[in-house]
C-alpha cells in the first residue's frame, strides 16, 4: 500500500525484524502525527539463508514507492534478529567461541562458585576454555579487598595463548561501582599488551550488580563476538546493496531500545532477544490513541497478546511506552543472567496447537488444546491443508473467524467448535489474569497470525483490540526504537539521608545518564526518564543503590557524525548460515528464578532415597536441592535465598568433599558443638558469594576456648541460606565434622537473641557469649562480655560495616546435652521433606496442590494450614538500622476455614514475615489477624510452588500463603516474650497459633 504525502519533508525510518519464519519490514514516516499514519509501506517475506531476506524486504519496500530518491530520505534503519539466540539454543559449535574467564577475587571469596558453575553442561562444554582466580576485587564501599597483580595476569595470558583462547572475560567483585580503581580495565589493558589482537569483555560493561549473573552475561557475550562481527559486516553489505550505504544503522535491544551497530558488535548479548519487546511496543503504539488507553490511570496502560503458531505470549506495556521488566534474574538459554528482559508469560496455544477430542453423549467435543503443536508440519498435517490433525486454526476456519485461509475447506460440527472456543477463552483469560497486577480491567492489543482465534470479549479486559498492521507490529516496534542509557550503581550519602539528599543523588544520576544518551546520538530535548529507583542497603551505612534509565529520540542532525564501522570487503550474503529453528527462537528465554541446583533429576523424586550409613546422612546433590527448597520455606521470607549457597555446596561435592548430617542422639552428651551463622547485607551475597567467613570465625572460637577439635556444628537458623551454608563449614575439606539435624530457631529470625538458649536462660545476654566474628579476609573479633543486649546489637552492626557488611559468627559453644534440651531438633529433616513435597508436585505437574502438600509435611491440618491465596497488589519496604521493614498486600480470598472473595491481606515483615491480617473493607473496623509471629508465615509462588523471600516480593506475583505452628519453645510464656508479637512492637496483637507443632520425622531414622 502506498500513501501520498504533502510537500513537507518526511523523516523516514525503516524497521526490520528477522524472525525464524518471516522477515518483516516497515517504512515509517517519523514525523507523522500517529504511528498508524506513519506506516507508508510494509512487507512480510520468508526468512532465507544469510541476510538475503533483509535485502529483498528493503527492495520490496523501495520499489513500491515513487517518491524519487527514497533511499536518500531514509535516515535510520533499525533491525531486530533472533540469529544469535538460535546459535545459543542450538549449541552451535561453528558459531560460538571458547571463552577464558579471569575473575578478580582475593581472599578465597567466590572460590566455591567458580565461572560456569550454573551453566547447562552441554553449553559449558562448548564455551568453557579457561578459568582463573586472580588477586583483586572491591568491598561494597569501594575499598580494596585486593589489588590486581600484573605478573599473575601475565602468567594466565601465557596459558590462554597456549590454549588458543582469544575471547576473554574480566570480572571483578563490585566492578559496576569501581569508578576509582578501574580494576577490570587495568587487567584488560595488561591482557591486550600481552596477547595483542584478542577480544576482551569487562563484565561491568555488560551486566549489573550480581557477580555470577553479570559474569554469565559477559561469557555469553564473549562467545558471540566473532559471530556478531561477521554478521555486522554482512548486514552493512546488505544495506549497501539496496542503496542505503550511508544510512545510520541500529540494532534493537532486549528492552525495546536500540544501539548502534558498532556498539552491538561489542555487546551482542543486549540484542539477543529483542523480538518480544518490539512486538509489545509496536502493538501498543498502534493503539495508543484509542479512548481505552486515554482513560486508564494505571501505571500499566495496556496488555499485548501475541498469538503465534505454537504459543501465545503476553506482556504489559507501561505508560512510559516500554514493556514491564521481568524479575531481577532471568534465564537465557538455561543460563541465569540479570540484564533487563521484558516480563513475558507464555502458554501453549497457537494456530498450530493440536485439538484433542472425545465423543460425549453422541457428540464430538474438544477436551484439550495444546500444548502440543504440529509445528513446522502445519502445512502438511492441519485439516485446512488436507492433513488429518485438528488444529486451532481449523476450529477458527470452521467457525468463520479465518476466511480464505488454507487450501482445503474445513467443516466441523457445532459442539466441537463451541467446546474448543470455550477452551481458547479460558486459556486466554487465565493468561490475562496471570500477568495483570491490578484488578481493574485493561485494554488488550492482539497481534500475531493467530489473533483471530481470540474471542471479542475476555474477562478482565476493557476491550480486545486488533489493528490492521498488527501482523508487522514487531517491525513497527523496531522502527520507532529510541536510544537509551542505564546507570545502576551504589553511591554515598553525603549529608545524611533525607528527601533533599535523595533528590540530589537522583538528579545527578539522571544528568549523567542524559549526557551519555546524547553522546550516543540522542536529541537532548527528547531525553526522558522511564525508570528510576533509589533504595537503602541492609547493614550498609550511608550508601544507596541508584538505578536510572533514560531514552531519547535519534537526533537526525548528528546522524552523519555518529561513529560507524570500518569499511568491509564484500562478503557474499549466502555465506551466512541460515537463520532457522523458529520454534526455538520463540522460546529462548524465560523469566523468574533459576532452579536451586540447576540439575535435572534422572528419576522422579518419589523414587529417590538419601544415603544413610551408620547413622550418618551423606548429602548428595539431590539432597542439596531438596534442602534448599525447604530451608527457604522455613526462612519465612528471610534468611536469604539458598540459591548461591547451594551452588557452593554442590561444587564442594563435585570436588570430592563429603557432607554429613547426624541426629543429636548419636553424639555424646559432653560433645563440643559450635553454633554457626553468617550475617550481613544480601547485596554482599549476590556480588561476593562464599569465602571463609564462617570457617575463620569457628577457628577463632576454638582458639578462644583453647580447643583444637570439635564434635559437630549446629545451625543457629535453619531458615534460608544458613541452613545450607553450614554443610560447607563441616565438609571434609573444611572442619570435617557433621552437622546436627536441628537448629536454634526452627525458622529464621532477625535478631541475635532470638534463639532457644536465650529462652531457656535467665535473661542475661552474657549467657550467649562469647561470640567470635570474622570478615573472611583477616579481621577477627571476639566479644566475651557486654553490659546489655543493646550493646551487642550496636557492636555487631558496627563490626559488619567495618568488615564489608558481611561476616561469619560463631556463638557460645554447646554440649550435646544442651542441644538435646534446648534445640529445635530435626529441622533439616523437615526442610528436606518440605523440599521433597514441592519437587513431587513439580514432577507430577500438580503445582496447584503444593500448598496442601507442604501443610501435610508440617503435620497436617492440626499443625499448619493454608490461609490465603491471591495476587500481590502493593509492596512497600524500607531499611531501618540495617533491616528490611515493610508490608505487602495480597488481593484474593481466604482458604480456610471460611472461603471469601476479593479480600485484602496485609503481611508485615521485618526481614521475616511477622503478621498476616485481613484489612477491613470499611473504615473504623478492625483488621482480622490470621497469623502472627512466632507462627511461621510462608509465601509460595503459585506458578512454581517454591518459597519467595522479601527481596522477591513484587507487584503481580500470584501467591499462596500458609501458616505453621512453631516449636513449643516459642509458644511458652518466655518464648513469646522473646519472639512474640509484642517483642516486635505489636502490642495490640494477642498471639494465637494456627495449630500444634508436630515433631518432624527423622530422615536418618527412616532411611537407615
pLDDT at 605: 86
Residue 712 pLDDT > 70, yes or no?
A: yes
3-state secondary structure of 204: helix
Fold of 483-553: Dna Ligase; domain 1 (3.30.1490)
DSSP-derived letter for residue 708 is S
User: What is the average pLDDT across 703-728?
Assistant: 96
Sorting pLDDT into bands at 50, 70 and 90, what band is 569? Answer: very low
Which residue in the block uniquely carries the three cell numbers 539454543?
89
Residue 657 C-alpha from the chain's centroid: 30
The model's confidence at residue 288, banded by pLDDT at 50, 70 and 90, is: low
768 pLDDT above the threshold of 70: yes
Q: In percent, how much of the chain has pLDDT > 70?
A: 90
Least confident window among 137-151, 676-690, 810-824, 841-855: 676-690
- 467 vs 673: CA distance, rounded Å: 69
Contacts of 251 (CB under 8 A, 6+ apart): 78, 79, 80, 81, 258, 259, 260, 261, 264, 271, 274
Domain 97-211's class? Answer: alpha beta
Q: Which of 117-126, 306-315, 478-487, 669-678 comes out lowest in average pLDDT? A: 306-315
pLDDT at residue 590, rounded to an integer: 35
What is the C-alpha to C-alpha distance for residues 929 and 909, in angstroms, rounded to an integer?
A: 14
Q: What region does 271 belong to: left with phi over 0, alpha with psi -120 to 50, or beta? A: alpha
Average pLDDT across the chain, whole number = 86
Tens digit of pLDDT for each residue in 528-560?
Answer: 998 888 877 766 667 888 989 999 999 877 765
Per-residue cell: 601:
533429576
Check: CB of residue 506 under 8 Å from CB of residue 532: yes
Whether the Cβ atoms of residue 243 and residue 60 lie closer than 8 Å to each other: no
Instruction: State mean pLDDT over 723-734.
Output: 96
Q: Which of 635, 666, 670 is nearest to 738 (CA)?
A: 666
Domain limits of the chain?
97-211, 483-553, 605-828, 847-1004
Ranges of beta strands (E only) in 513-570 are: 528-536, 543-552
Decide which of 43 and 328 is more confident.
Answer: 43
Q: DSSP per residue over 118-163, as a string?
A: TS-HHHHHHHEEEEEEES--B-TTS-BS----HHHHHHHHHHHHHH
pLDDT(591) > 50: no
What's the chain's length in residues?
Answer: 1008
Residue, of 184 and 433, whose pLDDT is higher: 184
pLDDT value of residue 52: 82
* Average pLDDT estimate for 846-874: 93
The pLDDT, as a whole number, for residue 879 is 54
Q: E strands along 10-73, which residues?
A: 12-18, 22-29, 39-46
Phi/psi at 678 (5° precision): -110, 145
Out of 39-48, 373-382, 519-528, 602-611, the most confident range is: 519-528
Over residues 729-753, mean pLDDT: 95
Assign a CATH topology to domain 847-1004: CV3147-like (2.40.390)
Residue with cell 529464621: 748
In this prediction, residue 540 carries a pLDDT of 66
Q: Is 64 exposed, middle or buried (0-12, 13-18, 19+ CB in 10 A)?
A: middle
Q: Is the pLDDT at 87 greater than 80, yes or no?
A: no
Residue 719 pLDDT > 90: yes
Among 242-256, 526-540, 839-853, name the one with the lowest average pLDDT: 526-540
State pTM to two decimals.
0.83
* CA separation for the pair 232, 570 (Å, rounded): 12
Indicate the Cα dihedral angle 889, 892, 897, 899, nearest 10°: 150
Residue 575: is its pLDDT beyond 60? no
Long-range contacts of 983-989, Cβ-Cβ distance < 8 Å, separation of 24 or more: 983/754, 983/933, 984/910, 984/914, 984/933, 986/914, 986/915, 986/932, 989/915, 989/929, 989/932
Span 154-182, pLDDT tens digits: 999 999 999 999 999 999 999 988 888 99
pLDDT reported for residue 601: 40
Range with top average pLDDT, 112-116, 583-587, 591-595: 112-116
Range 195-203 average pLDDT: 95
pLDDT tens profile 869-920: 988 888 776 654 555 578 899 988 886 544 456 789 999 998 899 999 999 8
CATH 3.40.1610.10 fits 605-828, yes or no: yes
DSSP 736: -
d(CA 929, CA 931): 6
Rounded distance, CA 988 to CA 929, Å?
A: 11
What is the pLDDT at residue 4? 40
Q: What is the pLDDT of residues 414-425, one digit of tens each?
A: 999 999 999 999
Q: How confident is the model at residue 576, as a pLDDT?
A: 39
pLDDT value of position 408:
93
- The answer to whether domain 483-553 and domain 847-1004 are alike in fold is no
Q: How confident is the model at residue 67 (pLDDT cuts 50, 70, 90)?
A: low
What is the mean pLDDT of the segment spanning 588-611? 55
Amino acid at each position: 500500500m502506498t500513501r501520498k504525502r504533502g510537500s513537507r519533508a518526511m523523516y523516514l525510518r525503516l524497521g526490520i525484524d528477522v524472525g525464524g519464519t518471516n522477515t518483516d519490514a516497515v517504512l515509517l514516516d517519523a514525523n507523522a502525527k500517529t504511528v498508524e499514519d506513519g506506516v507508508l509501506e510494509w512487507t512480510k517475506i520468508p526468512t532465507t539463508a544469510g541476510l538475503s531476506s533483509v535485502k529483498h524486504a528493503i527492495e520490496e519496500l523501495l520499489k513500491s514507492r515513487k517518491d524519487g530518491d527514497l533511499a536518500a530520505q531514509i535516515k535510520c534503519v533499525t533491525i531486530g534478529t533472533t540469529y544469535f539466540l538460535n546459535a545459543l539454543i542450538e549449541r552451535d559449535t561453528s558459531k560460538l567461541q571458547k571463552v577464558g574467564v579471569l575473575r578478580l577475587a582475593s581472599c578465597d571469596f567466590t572460590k566455591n562458585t567458580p565461572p560456569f558453575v550454573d551453566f547447562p553442561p552441554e553449553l559449558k562444554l562448548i564455551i568453557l576454555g579457561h578459568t582463573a582466580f586472580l588477586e583483586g576485587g572491591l568491598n561494597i564501599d569501594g575499598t580494596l579487598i585486593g589489588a590486581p597483580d600484573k605478573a599473575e595476569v601475565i602468567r594466565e595470558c601465557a596459558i590462554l595463548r597456549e590454549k588458543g583462547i582469544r575471547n576473554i572475560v574480566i570480572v571483578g567483585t563490585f566492578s559496576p561501582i569501581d569508578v576509582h580503581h578501574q580494576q577490570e580495565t587495568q587487567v584488560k589493558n595488561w591482557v591486550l599488551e600481552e596477547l595483542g589482537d584478542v577480544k576482551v569483555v569487562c563484565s561491568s560493561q555488560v551486566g549489573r550488580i550480581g557477580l555470577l549473573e553479570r559474569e554469565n552475561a559477559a561469557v555469553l557475550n564473549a562467545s558471540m563476538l566473532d559471530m556478531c562481527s561477521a554478521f555486522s559486516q554482512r548486514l552493512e553489505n546488505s544495506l549497501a546493496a539496496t542503496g542505503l550505504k550511508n544510512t545510520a544503522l541500529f540494532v534493537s535491544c532486549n528492552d525495546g531500545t536500540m544501539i548502534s551497530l558498532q556498539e552491538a558488535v561489542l555487546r551482542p548479548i543486549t540484542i539477543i532477544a529483542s523480538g518480544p519487546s518490539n512486538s509489545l511496543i509496536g502493538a501498543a503504539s498502534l493503539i495508543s490513541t484509542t479512548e481505552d488507553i486515554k482513560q486508564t490511570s494505571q501505571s500499566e496502560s495496556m496488555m499485548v497478546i501475541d498469538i503465534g503458531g505454537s504459543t501465545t505470549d503476553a506482556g504489559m506495556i507501561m505508560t512510559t511506552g516500554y514493556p514491564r521488566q521481568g524479575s531481577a534474574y532471568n534465564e537465557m538459554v538455561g543460563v541465569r543472567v540479570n540484564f533487563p528482559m521484558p516480563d513475558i508469560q507464555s502458554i501453549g496455544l497457537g494456530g498450530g496447537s493440536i485439538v484433542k477430542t472425545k465423543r460425549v453423549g453422541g457428540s464430538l467435543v474438544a477436551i484439550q488444546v495444546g500444548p502440543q503443536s504440529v509445528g513446522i508440519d502445519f502445512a502438511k498435517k492441519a485439516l485446512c491443508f488436507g492433513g488429518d490433525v485438528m488444529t486451532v486454526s481449523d476450529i477458527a476456519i470452521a467457525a468463520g473467524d479465518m476466511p480464505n485461509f488454507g487450501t482445503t475447506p474445513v467443516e466441523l460440527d457445532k459442539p466441537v467448535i463451541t467446546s474448543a472456543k470455550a477452551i481458547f477463552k479460558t486459556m486466554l483469560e487465565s493468561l490475562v489474569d496471570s500477568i495483570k497486577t491490578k484488578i481493574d480491567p485493561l485494554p488488550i492489543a492482539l497481534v500475531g497470525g493467530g489473533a483471530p482465534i481470540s474471542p471479542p470479549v475476555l474477562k478482565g479486559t476493557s476491550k480486545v483490540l486488533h489493528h490492521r498492521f498488527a501482523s508487522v507490529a514487531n517491525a513497527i516496534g523496531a522502527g520507532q526504537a529510541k536510544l537509551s542509557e542505564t546507570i545502576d550503581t551504589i553511591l554515598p550519602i553525603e549529608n545524611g539521608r533525607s528527601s533533599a539528599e535523595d533528590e540530589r543523588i537522583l538528579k545527578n544520576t539522571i544528568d549523567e545518564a542524559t549526557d551519555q544518551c546524547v553522546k550516543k546520538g540522542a536529541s537532548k530535548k527528547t531525553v526522558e526518564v522511564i525508570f528510576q529507583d533509589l533504595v537503602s542497603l541492609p547493614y550498609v551505612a550511608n550508601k544507596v543503590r541508584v538505578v536510572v534509565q533514560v531514552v531519547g529520540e535519534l537526533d537526525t542532525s548528528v546522524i552523519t557524525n555518529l561513529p560507524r564501522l570500518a569499511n568491509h570487503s564484500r562478503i557474499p550474503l549466502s555465506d551466512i548460515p541460515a537463520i532457522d529453528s523458529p520454534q526455538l527462537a520463540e522460546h529462548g528465554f524465560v523469566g523468574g528464578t533459576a532452579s536451586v541446583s540447576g540439575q535435572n533429576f534422572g528419576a522422579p523424586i518419589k523414587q529417590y532415597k538419601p544415603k544413610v550409613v551408620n547413622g550418618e546422612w551423606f548429602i548428595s546433590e539431590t539432597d542439596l536441592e531438596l534442602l534448599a527448597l525447604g530451608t527457604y520455606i522455613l526462612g519465612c521470607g528471610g534468611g536469604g535465598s539458598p540459591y548461591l549457597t547451594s551452588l557452593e555446596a554442590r561444587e564442594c561435592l563435585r570436588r570430592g568433599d563429603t557432607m554429613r548430617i547426624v541426629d543429636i542422639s548419636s553424639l555424646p552428651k559432653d560433645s563440643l558443638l559450635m553454633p554457626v551463622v553468617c550475617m550481613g547485607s544480601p547485596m554482599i551475597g549476590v556480588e561476593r558469594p562464599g569465602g571463609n567467613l564462617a570457617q575463620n570465625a569457628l577457628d577463632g572460637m576454638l582458639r578462644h576456648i583453647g580447643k583444637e577439635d570439635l564434635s559437630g556444628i549446629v545451625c543457629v537458623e535453619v531458615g534460608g541460606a544458613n541452613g545450607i551454608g553450614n554443610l560447607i563449614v563441616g565438609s571434609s575439606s573444611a572442619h570435617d565434622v557433621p552437622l546436627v539435624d536441628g537448629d536454634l530457631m526452627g525458622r529464621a529470625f532477625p535478631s541475635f537473641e532470638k534463639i532457644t538458649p536465650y529462652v531457656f536462660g535467665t535473661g542475661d545476654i552474657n549467657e550467649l557469649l562469647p561470640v567470635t566474628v570474622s570478615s573472611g579476609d583477616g579481621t577477627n573479633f571476639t566479644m566475651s562480655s557486654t553490659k546489655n543486649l543493646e550493646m551487642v546489637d550496636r557492636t555487631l552492626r558496627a563490626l559488619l560495616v567495618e568488615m564489608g557488611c558481611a561476616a561469619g559468627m560463631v556463638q557460645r559453644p554447646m554440649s550435646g546435652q544442651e542441644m538435646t534440651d534446648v534445640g529445635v531438633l530435626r529441622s533439616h529433616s523437615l526442610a528436606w521433606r518440605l523440599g521433597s513435597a514441592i519437587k513431587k508436585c513439580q514432577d507430577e505437574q500438580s503445582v496447584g496442590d503444593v500448598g496442601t502438600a507442604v501443610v501435610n509435611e508440617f503435620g497436617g491440618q492440626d499443625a499448619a494450614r493454608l490461609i490465603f491465596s491471591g495476587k500481590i497488589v502493593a509492596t512497600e519496604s524500607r531499611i531501618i538500622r540495617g533491616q528490611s521493614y515493610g508490608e505487602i498486600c495480597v488481593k484474593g480470598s481466604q482458604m480456610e476455614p471460611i472461603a471469601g472473595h476479593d479480600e485484602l491481606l496485609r503481611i508485615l515483615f521485618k526481614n521475616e514475615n511477622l503478621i498476616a491480617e485481613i484489612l477491613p473493607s470499611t473504615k473504623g473496623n478492625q483488621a482480622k489477624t490470621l497469623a502472627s509471629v512466632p507462627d511461621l508465615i510462608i509465601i509460595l509462588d503459585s506458578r512454581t510452588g517454591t518459597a519467595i523471600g522479601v527481596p522477591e516480593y513484587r507487584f503481580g506475583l500470584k501467591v499462596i500463603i500458609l501458616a505453621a505452628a512453631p516449636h513449643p519453645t516459642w509458644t511458652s510464656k518466655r518464648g513469646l516474650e522473646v519472639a512474640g508479637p509484642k517483642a516486635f512492637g505489636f502490642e495490640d496483637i494477642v498471639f494465637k497459633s494456627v495449630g500444634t507443632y508436630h515433631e518432624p520425622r527423622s530422615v536418618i531414622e527412616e532411611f537407615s
